[in-house]
């Protein structure tokens, strides 16, 4: 029993995994078997059998914790003394947390703005070129790697001694006859926040590019041709035809990426751990809850995140509905 | 004007575009470089065996043939065994990911089927409730979940990681699979019903085979998501070689061994190999899944 719970060799770990999968397959087979057993299973019976596992999991793992977290956001450090809105007052008044909020706003605006912008420009530029597939794959590949790996990639670029950024910086300075030492990029506020944001843009541009490229390809050929016959040049075509035609896709991409920016955790955690004035809500939640053991404050940070994300999702759903009606 | 352009006309437009915009090519080349060179640099570094040189000179200097003697596999050997033991974390990532993909997809298929093809009271209300669970940021759920796991004595085991990834993946999985499932022609399902097939039979014999591409595309999604996750791992895995995945270990190494590039570079690539391979082989499905998620709905 203990080995199943705490396997410690590669072999027992894999065995535990196989066991878990078999157990799950067994339960699922039983569910299907029981559903199929009665001669005439009523619809609600099928629904109960198919939906119960999911509903239980979601209630246990999402619904109940959310309620508990909202509750503990009104409690103090260890969750025993009610403090009213004190945690929220702390978040919205103390300079340290105002910095966190400001950074989060920067992330939520700059990440979607630039990754959509770059993705769009790139999608238009490589559209119908000879190496389109390859060129797209280059931009898209960061999507596959973890934010942790991406952070390491860019931490290396930002390295003061052997980083590419430092080399460019001192190189350019030398062109102007200046001999300078590159700054400690990640420790220099406020530029460090922008350097971290760029990593997130780097990660998300491929996503934007893919969606927008598909939207561009869906623009009817004859419209493009007509615009060309009307004498629109490349730039005019981009602003008067392409952009208006793919507006819904742009909106969807922007909101999706904005949610990514809001939830930015891995990048900040791995690159600066939120030090030197770079923290964001998602990271501060982790620091407060798990490192400073301040459950109340951590909970309120999570709730603030929750409240910010709701309008983004509602907007997104609204847009999807609209594009679905068109279809 | 509904005829398609001939190949020559297309080629003409293409060349015209190209000639008219040297700036366009320049911009696209700059973007492509910024998106690839940083990773390339780290890759080159991961093969540089001379540790002193790594911290003194830029990686681009090793591209000169006179520096090629620096290259070797020593760094990979260091991180895979010994103190760093990334091999064990690599296995953990696997053990976490496979059930973390299989279980939510199976549950979501059943749920999506019920929402799409079973008539029961309150179907729409329930679907909207499940759908809106996507709003909940993982952070909101972490502390209460951790409390539960500790009470059960299950924290820092694979079991709670599988459970958590299943829970967090479910709403989106149901949503996406439901979208695909609705597109199955009604006649097919009706015909099966007329033939006397029950829901289980329709699910297994009619719907499931048609869902294979959709399942593949969501599986890649969920795979990348679980494999690349850091937050769930940090909160629930416990930072030990017994359960923690690669991401957790790497993030730790960045913190404690600041600029030990000879360790971080190969570490990052070991963590990248699997998702990049999955991505390259199954790109087509991945893109399809992404488009379904973003544009359909």
Structural domain boundaries in chain B: 88-290
Which B residues 196-225 touch A at CB under 8 Å?
198-201, 203-204, 224
Return the HEC string of A11-30: HHHHHHHHHHHHHHHHHHHH
CB nearest B113 (choices: A50, A148, A153): A50
Beta-strand (E) ranges in A145-239? none
Q: B291 to chain A: nearest residue by CA?
A: A211
| Cα–Cα dist B97/B278, whole Å | 13
In the predicted model, is pLDDT for residue A248 greater than 90?
Answer: no
Please report residues of A whose CB lies closer than 8 A to that of B25.
125
Mind telling me how many Å the CA of B24 is from chain A's nearest CA? 6
Among B271, B236, B235, B237, smallest CA distance to B253 is for B271
| Cα–Cα dist A317/A198, whole Å | 27
**Cα–Cα–Cα angle for A205, A210, A214, rounded to 5 degrees:** 145
Please report residues of B whose CB lies closer than 8 A to that of A122.
28, 31
| Cα–Cα dist A252/B288, whole Å | 16
What DSSP character marks residue B2? -
* Contact between chains at B250 and A148 (C-beta distance less than 8 A): yes
What DSSP character marks residue A141? G
pLDDT digits (tens, 9 = 90+) for A4-39: 788 888 888 899 999 999 999 999 999 999 988 887
| Cα–Cα dist A14/A49, whole Å | 30
pLDDT at B283: 81
Mind telling me how many Å the CA of A24 is from chain B's nearest CA? 7
Mind telling me how many Å the CA of B145 is from chain A's nearest CA? 6
Mind telling me how many Å the CA of A193 is from chain B's nearest CA? 18
- What percent of chain A stands above pLDDT 70? 97
Contact (CB, 8 A) for B88 and B271: no
What is chain B's Cα-based Rg? Answer: 25
What sign does the dihedral A210-A211-A214-A215 (CA atoms) show? negative
In the predicted model, is pLDDT for residue B95 greater than 80?
Answer: yes
Can the peptide bond before residue A190 be classed as cis, meaning omega within 30 degrees of 0? yes
Instruction: Compute, in degrees rounded to 10, the torsion defined by CA atoms B138, B143, B145, B148.
Output: 180
* Contact between chains at B139 and A301 (C-beta distance less than 8 A): yes
Q: B256 to chain A: nearest residue by CA?
A: A270
pTM: 0.89
The tokens describing A111, both together, are 């990440």
**Cα–Cα–Cα angle for A194, A195, A197, rounded to 5 degrees:** 60
Judging by beta carbons within 10 Å of its beta carbon (0-12, 13-18, 19+), is residue A151 exposed, middle or buried?
Answer: buried
B242: helix, coil or strand?
Answer: coil
Please name the residues in contact with A170: beta carbons below 8 A apart, sequence gap of 6 or more.
Answer: A179, A180, A181, A182
* Contact between chains at B295 and A211 (C-beta distance less than 8 A): yes
What sign does the dihedral B92-B95-B101-B107 (CA atoms) show? negative
In the predicted model, is pLDDT for residue A283 greater than 70?
Answer: yes
pLDDT digits (tens, 9 = 90+) for A80-99: 888 889 999 999 999 999 99
| Residue reference for tokens 């991401």 | B247
Q: Does B95 touch chain A (CB under 8 A)?
A: yes
DSSP conformation letters of B179-220: HHHHTS-HHHHHHHHHTT--HHHIIIIIIHHHTHHHHHHHHH
CB nearest A69 (choices: B143, B159, B200): B143
Which B residues 142-201 touch A at CB under 8 Å?
142-145, 148, 154, 157-159, 162-164, 166-168, 170-171, 174, 198-201
* Contact between chains at A202 and B35 (C-beta distance less than 8 A): yes
What DSSP character marks residue B4? P
Helices and strands of chain B, counted as H and E runs: 15, 0
| Cα–Cα dist B165/B226, whole Å | 7
**Residue A28 half-sphere exposure, CB side, CA atoms within 13 Å?**
18
Q: B115 to chain A: nearest residue by CA?
A: A47
| Cα–Cα dist B183/B123, whole Å | 18
pLDDT band at A326 (very low <50, low <70, confident <90, very high): low
CB nearest A149 (choices: B10, B60, B268): B268
| Cα–Cα dist A163/A170, whole Å | 11
Which B residues 255-294 touch A at CB under 8 Å?
255, 259, 261, 264-265, 267-269, 271-272, 275-276, 278-280, 283, 287, 290-291, 294
pLDDT band at B13 (very low <50, low <70, confident <90, very high): low
Contact (CB, 8 A) for B173 and B211: no
pLDDT at B297: 34
In the predicted model, is pLDDT for residue B137 greater than 80?
Answer: yes
Length of chain B: 297
Beta-strand (E) ranges in chain A? none
Q: A294 to chain B: nearest residue by CA?
A: B143
CB nearest A69 (choices: B144, B159, B254): B144
Q: A296 to chain B: nearest residue by CA?
A: B143
What sign does the dihedral A15-A16-A17-A23 (CA atoms) show? positive
Topology adopted by domain B88-290: MetI-like fold (1.10.3720)
Phi, then psi, of A307 in degrees rounded to 5? -65, -40
pLDDT digits (tens, 9 = 90+) for B37-91: 999 988 888 888 877 777 777 788 877 777 777 787 878 888 887 778 888 899 9
Instruction: Quote ipTM for the complex.
Output: 0.89
pLDDT band at A325 (very low <50, low <70, confident <90, very high): low
Judging by beta carbons within 10 Å of its beta carbon (0-12, 13-18, 19+), is residue A81 exposed, middle or buried?
Answer: exposed
Q: Does B12 touch chain A (CB under 8 A)?
A: no
CB neighbours (10 Å) of residue B218? 29
Cα–chain-centroid distance for residue A206?
Answer: 13
3-state percent helix, strand, coil for chain B, nearest multiple of 5 = 80, 0, 20
Please report residues of A whose CB lies closer than 8 A to that of B201.
36
In the predicted model, is pLDDT for residue B268 greater than 60?
Answer: yes
pLDDT band at B2 (very low <50, low <70, confident <90, very high): very low
Please report residues of A whose CB lies closer than 8 A to that of B295.
211, 214-215, 249, 252, 323
Among A256, A312, A59, smallest CA distance to B126 is for A59
Cα–chain-centroid distance for residue B137?
Answer: 18
């Amino acid at each position: 029993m203990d080995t199943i719970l705490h396997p410690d060799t590669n072999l027992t770990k894999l065995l535990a995994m196989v066991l878990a999968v078999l157990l799950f397959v067994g339960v699922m087979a039983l569910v299907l078997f029981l559903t199929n057993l009665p001669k005439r299973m009523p619809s609600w019976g099928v629904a109960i059998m198919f939906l119960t596992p999911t509903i239980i999991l979601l209630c246990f793992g999402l619904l109940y914790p959310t309620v508990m977290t909202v509750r503990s956001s009104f409690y103090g450090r260890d969750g025993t003394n009610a403090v009213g809105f004190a945690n929220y007052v702390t978040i919205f008044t103390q300079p340290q947390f105002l910095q966190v909020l400001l950074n989060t706003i920067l992330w939520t605006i700059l990440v979607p703005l630039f990754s959509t912008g770059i993705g769009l420009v790139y999608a238009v530029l490589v559209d119908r070129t000879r190496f389109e597939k390859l060129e797209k794959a280059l931009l898209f590949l960061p999507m596959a790697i973890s934010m942790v790996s991406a952070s390491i990639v860019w931490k290396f670029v930002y390295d003061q001694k052997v980083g590419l950024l430092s080399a460019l910086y001192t190189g350019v300075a030398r062109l102007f006859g200046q001999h300078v030492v590159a700054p400690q990029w990640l420790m220099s506020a406020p530029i460090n926040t922008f350097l971290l944001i760029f990593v997130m843009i780097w990660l998300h541009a491929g996503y934007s590019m893919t969606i927008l490229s598909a939207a561009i390809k869906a623009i009817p050929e004859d419209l493009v041709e007509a615009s060309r016959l009307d004498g629109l040049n490349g730039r005019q075509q981009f602003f008067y035809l392409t952009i208006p035609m793919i507006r819904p896709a742009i909106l969807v991409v922007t909101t999706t990426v904005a949610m990514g920016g809001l939830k930015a955790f891995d990048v900040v955690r791995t690159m600066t751990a939120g030090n030197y004035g770079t923290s964001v809500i998602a990271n501060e939640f982790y620091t407060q809850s798990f490192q400073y053991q301040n459950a109340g404050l951590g909970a309120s940070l999570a709730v603030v995140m929750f409240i910010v994300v709701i309008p983004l999702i509602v907007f997104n759903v609204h847009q999807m509905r609209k594009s679905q009606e068109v279809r | 004007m509904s005829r398609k352009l001939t190949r020559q006309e297309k080629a003409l437009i293409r060349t015209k575009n190209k000639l008219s915009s040297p700036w366009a090519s320049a911009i696209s080349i700059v973007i492509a470089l910024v998106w690839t060179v940083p990773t390339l640099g780290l890759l080159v570094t991961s093969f540089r065996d001379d540790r002193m040189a790594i911290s003194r000179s830029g990686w681009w200097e090793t591209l000169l043939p006179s520096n090629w003697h620096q290259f070797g596999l020593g760094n990979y050997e260091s991180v895979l065994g010994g103190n760093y033991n990334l091999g064990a974390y690599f296995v953990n990532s696997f053990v976490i990911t496979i059930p973390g993909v299989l279980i939510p997809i199976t549950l979501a298929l059943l749920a999506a089927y019920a929402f799409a093809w079973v008539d029961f009271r309150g179907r729409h209300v329930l679907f909207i409730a499940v759908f809106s669970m996507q709003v909940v940021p993982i952070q909101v759920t972490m502390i209460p979940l951790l409390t539960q796991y500790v009470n059960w004595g299950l924290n820092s085991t694979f079991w709670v990681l599988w459970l958590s990834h299943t829970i967090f993946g479910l709403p989106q999985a149901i949503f996406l699979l439901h979208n695909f499932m609705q597109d199955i022609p009604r006649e097919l399902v009706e015909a099966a019903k007329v033939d006397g097939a029950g829901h289980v039979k329709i699910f297994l014999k009619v719907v499931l085979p048609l869902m294979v591409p959709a399942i593949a595309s969501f599986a890649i999604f969920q795979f990348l998501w679980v494999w690349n996750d850091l937050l769930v791992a940090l909160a629930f895995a416990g930072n030990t070689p017994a359960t923690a995945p690669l991401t957790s270990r790497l993030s730790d190494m960045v913190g404690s061994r600041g600029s030990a590039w000879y360790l971080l570079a190969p570490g990052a690539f070991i963590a990248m190999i699997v998702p990049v391979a999955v991505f390259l082989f199954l790109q087509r499905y991945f893109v399809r899944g992404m488009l379904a998620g973003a544009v359909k709905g």
